[in-house]
Structures are given as C-alpha cells and as structure tokens.
A and B are shown apart, each in its own frame.
Chain A
Amino acid sequence: MRRESVTPMLLILPAMAYLIVFIGYPIVGTFQLAFSGSKGWLENFIYVFSSKDFQNAFFNTLILGATVIPIQFILAIIFALLINKKWKGYKVLLYIIATPLALSDVTAALISYSIFAPNGYLNKILLNLNWIERPLYFFGYMFKSREFLVVALTEIWRATPLVFVILLAGLQSINAEYLEAADVFGFSAWKKFIKITLPLLKPSIVSALLVRTLFAFQIFGVVWLLAGRDITVLAGETYYWYVFRNNRNIASTYALIIAILTFIVGWFYIGTIRSKHLEEGVRT
C-alpha cells in the first residue's frame, strides 16, 4: 500500500463525479419534484397520504415482505446447511439452487404465469389427474387473494437463492474447530445449531435481512405482470403515476417514500451492527 493523496484522488474522481451527476443530482431532483405543487410544497404528500391507493400500496408492500421474507429465510438456511455438509454432489445442487439468480423479476413472473395461467400446467396436470373438474383461476380482480398467493410463491422461488448465497458464505466462514469442540462435549446436532452456528451466523443473517427488506420495498416487476394494479405496491404506483397518469410529482413522491423507507431500514441495520461491536467490546 502506498501512502499518497493526489494520485488516488485523481483515480477516484471520475467515478465520484459520475455518481454525483447520475445518482446524487437525480436524488435532489426527486426531492424537488416531490415537494413542488401549485398549492404549497406539501401538496403532493397530503394528496398521497390521504389516498386509499397509497394506504393499500403501503400495506400490500409490507404484507408481501412479511409473508415472503420469513419463508425465504427458513428455506435458505435449510439449503445452506445442506450444502455446507459437502456430501457427494453438493456442488451440482449449489449451482441448481443458484439458477434463479440469473433471472429478472419479469422473467420469473412469466415463468410462474406458465404454471398458474388458466391453461397453465398446474391446471392441466390437476385436470388430467381428475382432481378438479374445471380449471382453477388465479388471476383477475375477482381472485385477489389467489393473485397474492401466486406473487408470494414467485418471489419465494426467485429470491430464496439470494438469501441462500449470503447465508452460505457466512456458514463457510465459521471456523470448524468450534463445532469440533462442541462434538467433544457431546452436543447434539440441534444444540450445535442453536448455540454455535446460529449466533456466529448472525452478521450474515442481518445483512441478508437488510438486502431482502430493501428489495421488498422495490418490488415491482412480479406484481405488475401478474396482478397489475389489483395488488398495488409502492414501486408499482410510481410507475403507474409516471407512465399512465403522466404526473412526475406524484410519481416522485412515491419514489421518495421508498427512498425514506430504504434509508430507515439501512439506519436500523447500521445500528444493529454497531451494537454488536459494542457487546463484543464489553465482553473482551
């Protein structure tokens, strides 16, 4: 490592300038758009907060996150423990689990549509098994709760691998000697998991939780394609107000609300990490 101040600054400057122009300045612009209106600077927020659409979108975004994230975590942790055993063929399964990482939310939505469509494979298979008499409908304004189910299943399928990858990286960094020591003391597998693996995995769990919560606030493609505005979500409303209502101010207001939620979650996360370091400091 070299100690210098001019060269590294010159090397970093272009990247920083680019980020200021294409991320920093637009963020300021989002504020401007959200806080400008003909009837005072809070006009857009008053409109948005009092609208039923916002309340639904906010509620739906939260509910979707609260349903999907715990299931993803349970599945991901089971997969990660399974892969970490390093049995024959674990590498193949690792790549298979990672496959959905390549796919966009739009693709994932279309994939799940091929299964749940009226003529989709689920209906075809059930009909051919004679388990149902007529096709089950999962889409349409009439079947909101079924749409919700399909959206949740799609999200679980698409994003469990994401959590899995973070948790696996965490598991692999755990020193095997701790577990060997536990074996010496005759810990059961369950006790080893609860007393050793889980506490050591905490940083990975927190960071996976952060990533998932942040993405949950941005959920858009899957919901938009599968449910349209039957199930409204915050990012979907941003898109709707910009593309269909041509109103940049309201769209930016929704965008800003997403940004603020993101910021709060990030802050909460940094707080958790910091308190963890404090605890360690006290103990040693």
Chain B
Amino acid sequence: MKKFFYVLTFVAVSLWLLGPLFFIFLASLTPSSDFYSMNKIFPSRLTLEHIYKLLVNLGGWRAMLVSIQVALVAIAVSFALGIPAGYALTRYIFRGKNMIKLVMLFTRSVPLVVIAVSLVTMYLRLNLADTMFGVALAHGAMVLPFVVLITSSIFSGVFVEYEEAGMIFGLSRFGAFLRITMPLALPGLAASAIFAFIMSWNEVFASSVLAITNRTLPAHILGTAMASPDYFKFAAGTIMAVPALIFIFLIRKYLISMWGISLK
C-alpha cells in the first residue's frame, strides 16, 4: 500500500514537471498542418523545419551566438574578479569582512530591472549601448556577487594545510594557490561557471533594454515571438530549453548547494 502510494506520487509529480516540456518539444517538431488540425494530438511525422527556419531565416542563430558570447564574456569577467575576492574572504581575517559579505548579498539582490534603464544612459556615453559587450558587462555585474560567494565557499572546502605544505616545500603563496588550491577547486569552479552560464543565458530584461540589434536569444524571442506564428514560438522555446537542460543535468550533483548559495 505504501509502495503504491510512492509510485503514484512519483508518476504524478514527474508528469506535472516533465509533461509540459514534452509538449513543447512535440509541438516544435510537429508539421504546421498537423498542429492546426484539431483531432491530431500526435503528429503523423516529425520535422525540424520550424527550428531550422527560426535559426536560419529569423535571426535565431545570430541571437544564439550573441547569447553565447555574452555568457562567456560575463563568466570571464566575473571569475577574473570574483576568484581573488572569494579567496580573500575565506583565507584572510581582516576588518570589514562582514561588511563586504553584506555588500555581496545586497548587490546580489538588486534586480537588473532597477538598473537596466539607467545603464543605458551610462552606455550611451561609453559607446557601449546596443553592443554585445555592454550586455555582457551588465550580466557580469549580475553574476559577480554570486561568484564571489560561491568561490569563497569552494575554497573553504580546500584545506589550508595543503597550501601551507606546498609553501614549506618552496612554493610562493601565489604558486601554492595556482598549483594546489586551484586544481582541487576546479570541479566546483566548473560547475559554478556552468551555473553562471545558465543565469546569463536566461536573463531577459537587461538584454532587451540594453540592446536593440544585438539582442540575446531570450530578448530576441521576447521582441518577436508575439508577432510570429505559434509553431515558431514552440521552436523558440525548445531552442532555449535544450542547452539549459543539458547544462543543468551536467551539474545536477552541485545543484542544491549552488542554489542554496545563490539564493541566500
């Protein structure tokens, strides 16, 4: 009886969470004639036509490349600045440490909605308006506090003794960090990079406001979806969902702890 209850909940919860995904994948692969015919739930054949058209003819591919560039630059910037800060927060005691942690938590909770419009004014002066780089720098600011907090927690999981042992054998402090701490922290750092990628890949408000022609994929879709036929909307949903799902699957082991930190 108890076993039956568990199986039932398992099936019900899975259906609720995965069913909708199945429907949009199915819809994006359904030929348009089958989609508009009411008595056909399952299509007579599957087609990649809509996804292909969205990518090639409707600017999807370009927007996707912008999205990837934005995410990579944002990751590069936020990790280059965030790793030293995260390291300092775990390995040193200094005045103002709590203050800095608070600043990170505060900046993490400032929504991009609040700063996006004012960023445009700044970007117009810096010639960054409507560029991939401008969006990437804004995403970098969104991801940076998260990177600082998460790298600090990753580094605190690497024993300080290892570093000290390395320094006894003649490594400099920086050398010890580079040769000992970094390799040990690498899996966690890779997982957080993927997480940062998903954050940037999914962000839509700032990308829509900061760029008009160089829009990322979600911004491009937000701007054009309403005017497109339904099957392109579904193709768009599939294109955005698949990479994010693959990435989140790769870092599934880290998910709970990562969200714990990013939402603190």
Contacts and interface: CB of A to CB of B under 8 A. Distances in A.
A96 interface: yes
Contacts of B93: 1-4
B222 interface: yes
Q: Which of B26, B255, B259 has the most CB of A within 10 A?
A: B259
Nearest to A211: B263
B237 A107 contact: yes
The majority secondary structure among interface residues of chain A is: helix
B58 interface: no
Nearest to B218: A106
Contacts of B95: 5
A251 interface: yes
A175 interface: no
Contact of A207 (B203, B252, B264): B264
B23 A98 contact: no
A12 B100 contact: yes
A224 B233 contact: no
B117 A251 contact: yes
Interface in A191-215: 207-208, 211, 214
Contact of B10 (A29, A89, A110): A89
A19 B113 contact: no
Interface string A4-15: 110111011011
B204 interface: yes
A136 interface: no
A12 B89 contact: yes
Interface string B98-120: 00100100010111011111111
A15 B108 CA distance: 13
Interface residues of B, number: 91
Contact of B117 (A119, A221, A255): A255
Given A27-B110, A110-B233, A228-B226, A102 B248 contact: yes
Given A123-B38, A248-B120, A259-B110, A111 B204 contact: no
A166 B117 contact: no
Given A14-B81, A14-B84, A166-B260, A29 B245 contact: no
A264 interface: no
B27 interface: yes
B171 to A, nearest CB: 16
| Most chain B beta-carbon contacts within 10 A, residue among A32, A99, A105, A113 | A99
A23 interface: yes
Nearest to A19: B107
B205 interface: yes
Interface in B158-217: 160, 198, 201-205, 208-209
Nearest to B106: A266
Nearest to A163: B263
Q: Looking at A4, A22, A30, A32, which has the most chain B CB atoms within 10 Å of its CB? A: A22
Contact of B20 (A27, A89, A115): A115
B225 A225 contact: yes
A23 B115 contact: yes
Contact of B13 (A29, A96, A248): A96
Interface of B: 6, 9-10, 13-14, 16-18, 20-21, 23-24, 26-27, 35-36, 38-41, 77, 81-82, 84-85, 87-89, 91-95, 97, 100, 103, 107, 109-111, 113-122, 137-138, 140-141, 144-145, 148, 160, 198, 201-205, 208-209, 218, 221-222, 225-226, 230, 233-234, 236-237, 240-241, 244-245, 247-249, 252, 255-257, 259-260, 263-264
